[in-house]
Amino acid sequence: MEGTRLRILELLQKNSHDTVGGLATAMGLAPATVRRHLDILQRDRMVAFEEVRKKTGRPEYSFFLTEEGQEAMPKGYDHLLRLLVEELGVLTSGDLTGLAGQDVLEVVFSRLPAKLGMDNAATAESDNIDDRKDALLDVLQTEDFVPEANIVDGKLQIRLQNCPFRSVAMANTTVCDFDAAVINASIGQEMTRIECIHDGDPACVYVQAD
C-alpha cells in the first residue's frame, strides 16, 4: 500500500482515534477526499470508527486502526525468524541446560541486540547520550519501529509507534524484551517501559529510569 491511504494509516497509528477534520488538516487535503479514502479503508477492514460524544451539533466520529490495519504497517516477521534461527544455531546444549522453554526464549532474545550491532558497537566512538540516541534511532528506524525521541520532564523518552513483530508480541511478551534490550544496549543505561502495545497502549514507550 502507498500514497494517501498509507499516510492515513500512519497518522492513525501515531494519533489513534483521530477525526476526519484532524486527518484532513494533517494531510492538507479536503475532508471529502479523506472521507473517500476512509470509506475504502473501512471496506478493507483496516480502519474502524466510533462516535465522539458531543452535547450539541452534528455527531462526529473518530477513526482507529483495526488489527488488519496494524498488520498492514511494516512488519519484520521473516527478519525475526532469521535472527532466532541463527542464534539458536550458535547456542550449545550447555547454554540451555536446565532451562524451560520460556527461559530459552529469554536467553535467545537477550542475545539478539548483538546481531544488530547494538552491543555498544554503535556508541563506541562517543559517550554522549545524544550520539547514542541518534545511533539507536537509526537502528530502530531501519527495523521499522517508527521511533520518536523526546525529552519529557528532563528525561529521555523513546516512543515506538510501530511493532514489526506485533502479532507475535501480542501472544508472547518475551518478544518485547528484544525492544528493551536493543534500547538499553544502545543508550548504555536502563530505560523503563511505561507503555506497551501488548497492554493496549497505542505505542511502546521507554523512559530513563530514576
Tell me: the pLDDT tens digits for 165-200?
999 999 988 888 888 888 888 888 889 999 999 999
How many angstroms from the chain centroid is the CA of residue 55? 35
In terms of domains, do 93 and 195 share one? yes
| The C-alpha cell that represents 162 in the structure block | 510501530
| The C-alpha cell that represents 46 in the structure block | 483496516
Q: Domain of 59?
A: 4-72
Distance CA 48, CA 16 (A): 11
Across 97-198, the runs of DSSP E, i.e. the strands, are 147-152, 155-160, 191-195
Residue finishing a domain among 28, 47, 72: 72
Q: pLDDT tens across 10-24, in order?
A: 999 998 889 999 999
In terms of domains, do 184 and 97 share one? yes
- Overall average pLDDT of the 18-35 stretch: 96
Residue finishing a domain among 38, 72, 106: 72
**Cβ 40 vs Cβ 5: under 8 Å:** yes
In terms of domains, do 104 and 152 share one? yes
| The C-alpha cell that represents 153 in the structure block | 520532564
In terms of domains, do 46 and 89 share one? no
Provide the β-strand partners of residue 147. 160
Number of domains in the chain: 2
Residue finishing a domain among 22, 56, 72: 72
In terms of domains, do 11 and 103 share one? no
In terms of domains, do 60 and 104 share one? no
Q: Which residues are CB-contacts of 126 (< 8 A; sequence separation ≥ 6)? A: 132
**Domain harbouring 102, CATH code:** 3.30.1380
Q: pLDDT tens across 117-137, in order?
A: 554 444 445 667 788 888 889
Residue 113 has pLDDT above 90, yes or no: no
In terms of domains, do 59 and 137 share one? no
Distance CA 76, CA 82 (A): 10
Helix (H) or strand (E) holding 208: strand 204-208
pTM for this entry: 0.81
Helix (H) or strand (E) holding 13: helix 4-14
In terms of domains, do 149 and 162 share one? yes
Distance CA 81, CA 6 (A): 26
In terms of domains, do 87 and 187 share one? yes
In terms of domains, do 116 and 155 share one? yes
- Overall average pLDDT of the 140-157 stretch: 92
In terms of domains, do 49 and 153 share one? no
**Domain harbouring 38, CATH code:** 1.10.10.10
In terms of domains, do 84 and 62 share one? no
